[in-house]
Amino acid sequence: MEGTHTVPDPAVPPTPPVPLAALLAREDLALRQIAGPSGPDLVVHGAHTSEMADPYPYLLGGELLLTAGVHIPEGSTGGTPGGAKPGPGDYFDAYVARIVAAGGAALGFGVAPVHDTVPRALVAACDAYALPLLEVPPQTTFSGVARAVWQLMAQARHAELRRVTEAQQSLASAASRPDPVPSVLRQLAQRVGGRAVLYGPEGAEIAEAGRRPGGPADAPLAELARVLTGRGSATASDTAADGTHLAAYALGAGHGFVLGVAAPRREPGDHTIASVAAVLLSLLTGEHQSGTGAARSSALVRLLLGAAPETVAPLLGGERWRVVHGRPAAQGAPDAVAASALGAALGSPLVDLAEGVVRVLVPAEREPAEQPGWTLGVSAAVGPADWPAADTQAARALARARATRAHLVRHGARPALADLLAPGEAEAHAHALLAPLGENPALADTLRTWLSLHGSWDRTAVALGVHRNTVRQRIARCAALLGADLDDPDVRMELWFALRQR
C-alpha cells in the first residue's frame, strides 16, 4: 500500500477497555499477533464474530472482530466490500479499510476450518492500515475468546470501582484535616498520577500539588480554567500538545474558584475521583470567609462517612433545616458536579448524592425555590433530631412532583383533623385499621401514593418507579386484605388518615 490511511476517531461503547496485551497473555487462548502495531496502549472494548464481507454496519467501535474467512472469495479476489470499485487483489485492502473505518480495534483470524493459514494479503493489509491481526489457533473457539474478553472487562470494572471507592474515602479524610485544601489537592494529584491546581476567581494559582506530568501543560491548564470561568460551565477538558490530559471543574456557583487537573493519561474513574474532589473543594472555598464554614465542612464529611445526624448537630448550631430532594428534569442521573451546583444554587454546602437523588440540607430561613432543569421535593422545617422524618417528607414530595410533572412540591404543614386527636389514640386506630396489610411496606407505600395521586395508576407507577400493572395488583391486594371498597371516598379518607399516622 502507498500513502497514509487516516480515518476519524470512532465513538467506542462505554465499557472498561481491555488491553490487547492482556488477551495475548492468556495461555489458554494461545493467540498470536502476526501483523499491525503492538503496545500497552492498544485496547479492545468487546468481541464480535462476523463472516460478512462488509462488517462495517455491524460494528460499534472498539471491538475485536473474529472471522474464519468464510466470506473470502476464491483466489482472494472478487467484489469489494462496501461498494467500492474493485481492483486486482484489493479485496483484503478494502475489507480491512472498512473495519478500520468502523472503529474496529483488532482482527482475529481463525485458521480452521476454512483456511489452514492466515492469507498473506490480509497480513499485508493489516500492516498497511495499522490494524492488529491475531491468529486464532484451531483449538481455540471464538466463544472462548469472547468469554475471555468479558472476563477481563469484569476484572477491569471491579478494579475501577475499588479505585474510585478508595479515592473517595481518602479525599473525605483529607478534607477533615487542619489544612483541608492542600490535603485534598495532594490526595487528588496522587490518585490521578499528575498535578492538581486550585485557581482563584481572578485566575491566579492559589494552591497546587503533585508533579508536572512531563510536559509544558501549565499554561494550557490555566487557560482552560479561565475559559471555564468565562463561559460559566461546570466542566471542561482538553489535551495538551504533549498528550497530557487536562480537565477543569468549576467549584460551586458564583464562587469563581476552579480546580484544574493535569494527568499523563486518561484512566477509568479519573473524572469521578476529580468530581468528588471538586465537591469537597467547593465547600471549602465557598464558605472560606464564613465563621461557620469549617464546622459545616466537617459536618458534611462526617455525614458522608456515615455519622448519625445527632452527632453533627452541635457543629450546625442547632438551627432549623429543610431537606430538599432533587432529580434532573431530563432523563439521566446527576453527577457530583451537578449535585454541588444544586447545593450552591439553594444556598447550602451540605449536599449528598446517592442512587440518582441529590439531597441538600438547607437552613430554614433560605426558602427553596424552583431551579431550572430540576424537579424538587421540600420537607417541613425541622431541627436536627427530626432530619430522618424530614428526609422521608422530601422523598415523598419529590415522588409527587415527578408524578404530577411539577417543578417543586412542598410537604404540607397545615393543621389537620388529626391534630384534634390524642397521638396515642390516632396511632392505635391506624394500627388496627391497617393491620391486615401486615408488615409488607410495598403495599402500604403503594396505597399511600395511590391515594395521594387521586387513584391515578400511571402517576403512581411513575412515582414508585414500577409498572402500572404492578400498581393495580398491589391495590387489588390491599382492597382484598382490608375488605374495603377503595372507590368509596369515605373509605379513602379514613385510610389516608391512618396511613398518615403510620
In this predicted model, what pLDDT tens digit does every residue of 222-231 receive, in sequence order?
888 887 765 5
- In sequence order, what are the beta bridge partners of 134? 33, 108
Looking only at the bridges linking them, the beta strands covering 321-328 and 357-363 are antiparallel
Mean pLDDT of 80-95: 63
Which of 78 and 400 is assigned the larger pLDDT?
Answer: 400
Fold of 177-286: Beta-Lactamase (3.30.450)
Taking domain 18-152, whether its CATH number is 3.90.45.10 is answered by: no
Q: Convert 412-471 into a string of H (helix), E (strand) and C (coil).
A: CCCCCHHHHCCHHHHHHHHHHHHHHHCCCHHHHHHHHHHHHCCCCHHHHHHHHCCCHHHH
Select the highest-mean-pLDDT range: 2-11, 245-254, 349-358, 401-410: 401-410
pLDDT of 29 > 90? The answer is yes
Measured between its terminal Cα atoms, the distance across the chain in Å is: 78
Report CA Rg, the chain: 30
Neighbours of 368 (CB within 10 A): 22
pLDDT of 79 > 60? The answer is no
Which of 441 and 287 is assigned the larger pLDDT?
Answer: 441
pLDDT of 3 > 80? The answer is no
Parse the chain into domains and list their residue ranges.
18-152, 177-286, 312-410, 417-501
Residues 6+ apart with CB under 8 A from 370: 376, 407, 408
Find the range with the poorest average confidence among 4-18, 26-40, 347-361, 408-422.
4-18
pLDDT of 76 > 70? The answer is no
Class of domain 417-501: mainly alpha
Residues 6+ apart with CB under 8 A from 487: none
- The pLDDT score that the predictor gives to residue 103 is 92
Which helix (H) or strand (E) covers residue 109, if one does?
strand 106-110
Which of 478 and 339 is assigned the larger pLDDT?
Answer: 478
The rounded mean pLDDT for the chain is 81
- The pLDDT score that the predictor gives to residue 286 is 62
Select the highest-mean-pLDDT range: 84-98, 307-321, 468-482: 468-482
- The pLDDT score that the predictor gives to residue 296 is 61
- The pLDDT score that the predictor gives to residue 298 is 66
Q: Nearest CA to 329 among 211, 442, 408?
A: 408
Q: pLDDT band at residue 291, thresholds of 50, 70 and 90?
A: very low
Q: Nearest CA to 349 among 383, 372, 381, 315?
A: 315
pLDDT of 142 > 90? The answer is yes
Residue type for 423, please? P
Q: What is the DSSP letter of 8?
A: P
Whole-number percent of the chain with pLDDT over 90? 26
- The pLDDT score that the predictor gives to residue 112 is 82
Whole-number percent of the chain with pLDDT over 70? 80
* Residue at grid coordinates 465563621: 291
Select the highest-mean-pLDDT range: 184-193, 312-321, 356-365: 184-193
